Structure 1
């Protein structure tokens, strides 16, 4: 009988798989308010809080807290936020020796969170914009020796593409999150990506498909979506559905035709306080799951629990838990 999904956290911690993450580290300037303001409207909020974030930094912290050996690759500025961000990564167990230091401000975001945990985010790249191809070439040995690489688009596209190519050619599995969303992706990036991660809205934009009229994604034509994805160049894709769980899409060649499969992953229901960084904790968990030998489906199932845990706390990295905290939280959850 297959072991309970959360028990896999123990195996991950014992294995200490190697994960590399290339991308962003941001100081999140965060305020909580009863509801998000409409255009031109002013609402009252809580005192401003500065929290450690950045999509890639968040992913790295998640993977490290779950027991992986994680190398963070990217750039910070020469401001006070740089020390703050690197200290947060180090405290989580992330290796930062290869992080580049550049002149100017570090990356920042301005985040507003409402009473239901929904948020709006404005991103200023800062030092993240100075992650270039020569830097990526300088960390080639780290990329090539990892089990899996995580990428998103909060770094320049040329650098992201170079990292994917170096890792893929070395036999390292590449998980690419098309976020912030870009519809037209370089063919070199697509061909060197093993697994694509998008949300449902990004999926239909990428493929030029129509979303379900009633918002019921269980009635969406997932088989056609995967066949379209295969035509684009992605044979394995994770599609997150917010509070409705996720879907794993895969295709394979059978003779002269393509066969598609879809696995629906049910959501883990919690009372959300703040969803900031939940998607990043999801991806960070998939990274560490794949690096430790889990199937893609099991890695996504595990990620559902870890990201649900993150939704019960404020902020991104500040809301993340280690393996023990997550197991304790969901010990009595039905179905595990």
Structure 2
């Protein structure tokens, strides 16, 4: 069975569904509220588990009701939570999310316990977690120094490493670029890629030039650039466009995390990167047709049943 180690955040999502996203200083009424599990790391861990992998999750939660609920859910999913840190010093992470009718969203996060994932804690994870074959997947809602420690350990043990550089800020960009030597596959969206390259939102992205710049410290680096509803670009020895699967989206929250979790599983299964991206595309397409960052994540049997996307 495929094996995936996930390092990332655990949050509780507070979701308000509104007819449209509010502007600055604006109040939008007629919304509905729901609470559910979330966090980029947790979403990716659950996505990978449902996609068929054995999953070890490295994260932190508060010693509070939200933390207890999260741990219970991870155990129910069958995720190994041996390396989830429980702290009574801060609360569990919380994300406040607006979702409009078409599925687009706005998110603000209070990291809480996620900031207590420290490099020493990552270093204390048993060697056996990193020494087995598989994939290491990390994202950036946790301290970067801890992510770097995880990437270093994974590369030293010859795991395939995936870094989902989300969220990316100009302040983080230089640190991410310095860590590229420990990354096999980088999975930014267009906005994150522009930030890494020092471009503005108005600048066009040349995938080949982007790859050349990012490969300055790692000539073997491969990119999967997610394009939202358009699909994704796989940048390796050549650039391959993977078109989207046309679906009726109702909730895009967690779609990128679903993509990354499924991508990790496909690579751990031995799929080539383009085929892995196609499979991950299918998983993400299923996820946006359902409500909830984690409740909407598909299972492997559902992904495998989908018909191939016609060539465009």
238-247 vs 197-206, greater mean Cα deviation: 197-206
46-55 vs 64-73, greater mean Cα deviation: 46-55
The corresponding residue for 2:186 is 196
The corresponding residue for 1:65 is 50
Gaps of 5+ in 2: none
Q: Structure 1 residues 211, 96: closer, same or farther in 2, change over 3 A?
A: same
Q: TM-score, normalised by structure 1?
A: 0.86
Q: TM-score, normalised by structure 2?
A: 0.92
In structure 2, what is the Cα distance between the partners aligned to 1:165 and 1:296? 22
The corresponding residue for 1:40 is 25
Kindly tell me the number of residue pairs found equivalent between the two proteins. 305
The corresponding residue for 2:244 is 267
Q: CA deviation at 1:94?
A: 1.2
The corresponding residue for 2:15 is 30
In structure 2, what is the Cα distance between the partners aligned to 1:188 and 1:33? 40
Matched, 1:139 2:125: yes
Q: CA deviation at 1:211?
A: 6.3
In structure 1, what is the Cα distance between the partners aligned to 2:177 and 2:280? 28
Asked whether the 8 Å contact 1:140–1:166 carries over to 2, the reply is no
In structure 1, what is the Cα distance between the partners aligned to 2:159 and 2:243? 29
Matched, 1:163 2:150: yes
In structure 1, what is the Cα distance between the partners aligned to 2:190 and 2:177? 22
80-89 vs 170-179, greater mean Cα deviation: 80-89
Asked whether the 8 Å contact 2:167–2:192 carries over to 1, the reply is no
The corresponding residue for 1:255 is none
2:100 pairs with 83, 97, 114, which one? 114
Asked whether the 8 Å contact 1:65–1:93 carries over to 2, the reply is no
Asked whether the 8 Å contact 2:180–2:214 carries over to 1, the reply is no
SS of match in other structure, 1:127: helix
In structure 1, what is the Cα distance between the partners aligned to 2:201 and 2:35? 36
Q: Structure 1 residues 212, 120: closer, same or farther in 2, change over 3 A?
A: closer
95-104 vs 227-236, greater mean Cα deviation: 227-236
In structure 1, what is the Cα distance between the partners aligned to 2:23 and 2:136? 38
Q: Structure 1 residues 271, 87: closer, same or farther in 2, change over 3 A?
A: same
The CA deviation string for residues 134-191 of structure 1, in whole angstroms up to 9 with x for no partner, is 1101114213325110011111111111010011011111100111103212565221
In structure 2, what is the Cα distance between the partners aligned to 1:186 and 1:299? 24
In structure 1, what is the Cα distance between the partners aligned to 2:302 and 2:181? 38
Report matched runs for 1:169-318 at 5 Å. 169-181=156-168, 182-185=172-175, 189-209=179-199, 220-231=205-216, 233=218, 235-251=221-237, 261-318=238-295
SS of match in other structure, 2:166: coil
Asked whether the 8 Å contact 1:65–1:323 carries over to 2, the reply is yes
In structure 1, what is the Cα distance between the partners aligned to 2:142 and 2:51? 25
Which structure is larger by alpha-carbon Rg, 1 or 2?
Answer: 1
149-158 vs 138-147, greater mean Cα deviation: 138-147
Asked whether the 8 Å contact 1:161–1:188 carries over to 2, the reply is no
In structure 2, what is the Cα distance between the partners aligned to 1:186 and 1:34? 36
Q: CA deviation at 1:24?
A: 0.5
Q: Structure 1 residues 186, 34: closer, same or farther in 2, change over 3 A?
A: closer
In structure 2, what is the Cα distance between the partners aligned to 1:267 and 1:114? 21
- Alpha-carbon RMSD across the aligned residues, in angstroms, is 1.9
In structure 2, what is the Cα distance between the partners aligned to 1:170 and 1:327? 30
